[in-house]
């Protein structure tokens, strides 16, 4: 299968109510029938978040256990719509990997993983008006959810907050105007 064409299916073009052609259990709209299944995808999510926020001189998202946060959030806090978008997105992604690279996402090379996520990112169109309307109707897209939750999970994790960012749980004072130093890290909390 052509990689571009395969990727089309991840981008939500399958739409509401269309059942997958390969027999994966697609669930659309508001049904909650897949709830409870995401823990099975923990490793896949861990690999995904580590591409979005990889280890550099500071820890990556996987080490910060962002995958646990995403599963917890999805299982307990997400709407059924967004849960299904996420769940279906994972399945689509996995299928695309198999079709394109003959390997699961976890077993793809970093370069292949980057190509897959870049395609998702380029097509998520998160700032277009269409996408905003679409978000309201159908919930946020798979990639939008993945990226947003990875950022949130990482920047509120212990490693993200205290190592990657600047965290002062009890500042003790307020210096309203300071001059920024080189390599000034942003405050983790507001």
Residue 17 within binding range of other proteins, rule CB under 8 A: no
Residue 175 within binding range of other proteins, rule CB under 8 A: yes
Q: Which residues ranging from 44 to 63 are in contact with other proteins (CB under 8 A)?
A: 51-54, 56, 58
Residue 24 within binding range of other proteins, rule CB under 8 A: no
Q: Name 82's Cβ contacts closer than 8 Å, sequence gap at least 6.
A: 74, 139, 140, 145
Q: How many residues form the binding site for other proteins (CB under 8 A)?
A: 50
Q: Which of 169, 171, 125, 119 is nearest to 4 (CA)?
A: 119
CB-nearer residue toward other proteins: 47 or 152: 152
Cα–Cα distance for residue pair 158/72, rounded to 1 Å: 16
Q: Which of 116, 128, 66, 121 is nearest to 92 (CA)?
A: 116
Cα–Cα distance for residue pair 12/53, rounded to 1 Å: 23
Q: Which residues ranging from 79 to 98 are in contact with other proteins (CB under 8 A)?
A: 79
Q: Which of 10, 4, 25 is nearest to 146 (CA)?
A: 10
Candidate segments 2-10, 11-19, 23-31, 181-189, binder of other proteins by CB under 8 A: 181-189
Cα–Cα distance for residue pair 63/54, rounded to 1 Å: 9
Residue 174 within binding range of other proteins, rule CB under 8 A: yes
Residue 109 within binding range of other proteins, rule CB under 8 A: no
Cα–Cα distance for residue pair 37/26, rounded to 1 Å: 13
Residue 158 within binding range of other proteins, rule CB under 8 A: yes
Among 1, 16, 77, 133, binds other proteins (CB under 8 A): 77
Q: Residue numbers of the site for other proteins (CB under 8 A)?
A: 51-54, 56, 58, 69, 72-73, 76-79, 114, 117, 121, 127, 147, 151-158, 161, 164-165, 167-180, 184-190
């Amino acid at each position: 299968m052509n990689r571009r064409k395969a990727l089309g299916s991840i981008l939500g073009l399958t739409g509401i109510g269309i059942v997958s052609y390969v027999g994966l259990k697609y669930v659309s709209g508001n049904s909650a029938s897949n709830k409870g299944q995401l823990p099975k995808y923990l490793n896949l999510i861990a690999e995904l978040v580590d591409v979005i926020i990889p280890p550099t001189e500071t820890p990556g998202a996987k080490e910060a256990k962002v995958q646990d946060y995403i599963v917890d959030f999805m299982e307990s806090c997400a709407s059924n719509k967004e849960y299904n978008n996420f769940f279906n997105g994972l399945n689509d992604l996995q299928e695309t990997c198999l079709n394109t690279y003959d390997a699961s996402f976890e077993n793809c090379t970093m370069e292949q993983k980057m190509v897959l996520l870049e395609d998702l990112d380029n097509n998520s169109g998160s700032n277009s008006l269409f996408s905003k309307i679409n978000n309201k109707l159908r919930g946020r897209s798979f990639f939008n959810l993945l990226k947003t939750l990875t950022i949130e999970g990482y920047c509120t994790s212990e490693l993200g907050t205290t190592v990657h960012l600047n965290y002062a749980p009890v500042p003790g004072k307020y210096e309203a105007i300071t001059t920024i130093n080189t390599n000034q890290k942003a405050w983790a909390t507001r």
